[in-house]
Structure 1
């Protein structure tokens, strides 16, 4: 993994104080807003489909527009944080989502909503990548991986928040209430970030914009460390290091490609599992009520997978542990396929898949944020998230085609096991590659 900059080494070795914990928790709250923004359409879709007579194909296009926007946010917007700053991109994305969500509540046609969901996706994709970066840059070595896992749980809390709004208020106030609450929540978070979130010290040391020394020392004082007398010399061209070509430059290309493949692999198996498991269990003969209850079991085990990765990756190698979790997911998928004649055994194995798959995702993000130096970290993580968007579409789509064609569960789940095993191999190999020292080293 990449060597640490001076700013990172200060934070990595120092105990976390109230200031650094508050920053990390604020990032977690922002991720709740991100999950809420993504899930509003999911909750509004049944009502919108009836109110506007929207057919399933058009609903699919609406969902796809969000996914495409997320890819644009991850590939195009998130990397700009290496040039303009993490705080700048976060504020811009939150402002965009606040405006677009409120405009969505006033949408008068499915085509207006289609365009607005594309821009929502851009905001969601931009936030997702940069929040991972900020948490790692403000948490110390002991707690960084754990807090990153907690932040991923907060995204799920945002999705749950959207479902509760839908359950309690949509019947009386219409689907618009989802977007109104989402927009107002983003506005509140926007104000909080503007008032309390400082720029990343790693970015300030690497890019050295105007007033960087004063801003760095302001952060260092609040972290309880001595201020700097002068900024370190820039050895990599400062902002010029943010070129996307650097991700596939000498010393970086192998690790980048391996992380992209692992992200694609996770998204294929993870989103297939999330989308199709209840239906597969129902078709296998499990009582429908139990098949639906599987979602509760898988959610609980997903939380445990997240937290266990965050905790144990601070003790053992994060790369090797992530590879083990991917291997565990591969084994679980294969066991699921081998037990297709026993629906209760399938029900038992399904949460185990969630444990390993979600834990592997947290591990993937931990590895991505720690692989790239500060000068290209937002771009690196953005591309890892962006490649995952392709798998998020392909996994459920290909799975649906195979299941619809009656191809049999064992070949399908064996193929999913292979995909997870490839991701495990990628993460294991990436631990052998080292990025260049950051510009501020």
Structure 2
């Protein structure tokens, strides 16, 4: 069975589009569930008199959960299957969001945000692997980047929901609504999302032949009477050691550092832009628009990078985006602007920062073979979460210490330049394919 020939068919089928569409919607939920806290933060701060430092810990709690989910839970996707981890993650996210709405203290709020983050982190790597394994090679970069463009769309939806719900009903109902939306996504994953064809062939779980033939029919290929013999490395190379073999070690460590630096800048922006806008005297409605503008830039940047990468090369385009993002961050922090100018500047800033960051997922998915793909993506995300956790927390400490807002954007442009230097060092060579 030539799996590459089957998947790399030049025609797109309904199954290709269904997998991408469902995973896109699930990643939208991730964006909604992660970023809803940034919209609710001013209201939580006013209601409970929360200090910037404590608020930074609440921001970071979900990110810690996402890191642990990506590193310790998502690798089970390489053993149990992408679909099982995705379904379990949705259940965890739903519970965490609902319990967040019931929080009665900052400690409870941080803990339940951690629970939601655990589910989000464990699902994200599996979604990336699923889309990568179903996308024909010709469209793989674009498919992965479209998947991750769902994240800012979810954040935009959260922004519109927040603008409607928060002024009238407060922050708790906002989390209740997001929990219900997450729950409604469960049937999509249970009944409409197939298991990864790569996983079924390489691991051959129970009823693998039946499931493979059902997928082959959906891909307009003939069925098979038996599956190929499982290769030894399909069962022995999974896990962290597989990422640190001699041919992958250097690229893996560089990828981790690039994720870490990009995450630090990205989550500073995602977590603090709305709160800083309110503190600067912007009406809450305009501050919400700032968050929406930020995520619109993220969406269009991610989609355009996918198209440009097919023309100019993935790593080259990511590097250009990061450099332009650093410049945009410095300009935004040092130039006085009216509200309209600030919205445009935020759009441009996030266009380059999120666009370049999203490209790192495509690098990770292409770097690793099926047997360790989700493990590789998960550990890259987990390593990156060190930056995601430290970025908002450090910003909270610096703001509390009286560092001017403008300087914050200059400080957080530096990790983007480090990420640029790091990603250029990755010798992105194809590894053994399944």
**Shared topology, TM-score over 0.5?**
yes
Distance (whole Å) between structure 2 residues aligned to residue 287 and residue 45 of structure 1: 15
- Counterparts in 2 of 1:379-418, with a 5 A limit? 379-399=375-395, 404=401, 413=410, 416=412, 418=414
Residue 137 of structure 2 aligns to a residue whose secondary structure is coil
Return the offset for 1:154: 1.9
Q: Are residues 1:239 and 2:235 paired?
A: yes
Distance (whole Å) between structure 1 residues aligned to residue 173 and residue 277 of structure 2: 34
Tell me what 1:165 maps to.
161
CA distance 1:181–1:418, change in 2 (3 Å) = closer
Residue 315 of structure 1 aligns to a residue whose secondary structure is helix
Tell me what 2:130 maps to.
134
Mean Cα displacement is larger for which, 36-45 or 397-406?
Answer: 397-406
Q: Are residues 1:20 and 2:16 paired?
A: yes
Out of 175, 179, 185, the position equivalent to 1:179 is: 175
Tell me what 1:304 maps to.
300
Mean Cα displacement is larger for which, 376-385 or 112-121?
Answer: 112-121
- Kept in 1, the 8 Å contact 2:267–2:392? The answer is yes
- Counterparts in 2 of 1:337-416, with a 5 A limit? 340=334, 351-399=347-395, 404=401, 413=410, 416=412
- Counterparts in 2 of 1:43-62, with a 5 A limit? 43-49=39-45, 56-62=52-58
Structure 1 length normalisation: TM-score?
A: 0.84
Tell me what 1:65 maps to.
61
Return the offset for 1:186: 1.9
CA distance 1:401–1:68, change in 2 (3 Å) = closer
- Counterparts in 2 of 1:2-401, with a 5 A limit? 6-49=2-45, 56-170=52-166, 172-274=168-270, 297-333=293-329, 340=334, 351-399=347-395
Alignment deviations for residues 318-369 of structure 1 (CA, whole Å, 9 cap, x no partner): 22222232233345456667xx36658x957654432221211121111111
Alignment deviations for residues 269-319 of structure 1 (CA, whole Å, 9 cap, x no partner): 323344566898999xx9958995765554443332111111122333222
Return the offset for 1:146: 2.3
- Kept in 2, the 8 Å contact 1:263–1:387? The answer is yes
CA distance 1:172–1:355, change in 2 (3 Å) = closer
- Kept in 2, the 8 Å contact 1:82–1:239? The answer is no
Distance (whole Å) between structure 2 residues aligned to residue 116 and residue 203 of structure 1: 32
Distance (whole Å) between structure 1 residues aligned to residue 133 and residue 18 of structure 2: 13
Return the offset for 1:196: 0.8
CA distance 1:138–1:68, change in 2 (3 Å) = same
Number of aligned residue pairs: 429
CA distance 1:259–1:107, change in 2 (3 Å) = same
CA distance 1:317–1:228, change in 2 (3 Å) = farther
- Kept in 1, the 8 Å contact 2:56–2:396? The answer is no
Return the offset for 1:61: 3.2
Distance (whole Å) between structure 2 residues aligned to residue 267 and residue 149 of structure 1: 16
Q: Which runs of 5+ in 1 are unaligned?
A: none
- Kept in 2, the 8 Å contact 1:93–1:123? The answer is yes
Mean Cα displacement is larger for which, 401-410 or 18-27?
Answer: 401-410
RMSD, matched Cα:
3.4
- Kept in 2, the 8 Å contact 1:298–1:354? The answer is yes
CA distance 1:408–1:174, change in 2 (3 Å) = closer
Alignment deviations for residues 196-224 of structure 1 (CA, whole Å, 9 cap, x no partner): 11110111122122222221121111111
Residue 310 of structure 2 aligns to a residue whose secondary structure is coil
Return the offset for 1:29: 1.0
Mean Cα displacement is larger for which, 244-253 or 421-430?
Answer: 421-430
Mean Cα displacement is larger for which, 249-258 or 155-164?
Answer: 155-164
- Kept in 2, the 8 Å contact 1:251–1:433? The answer is no
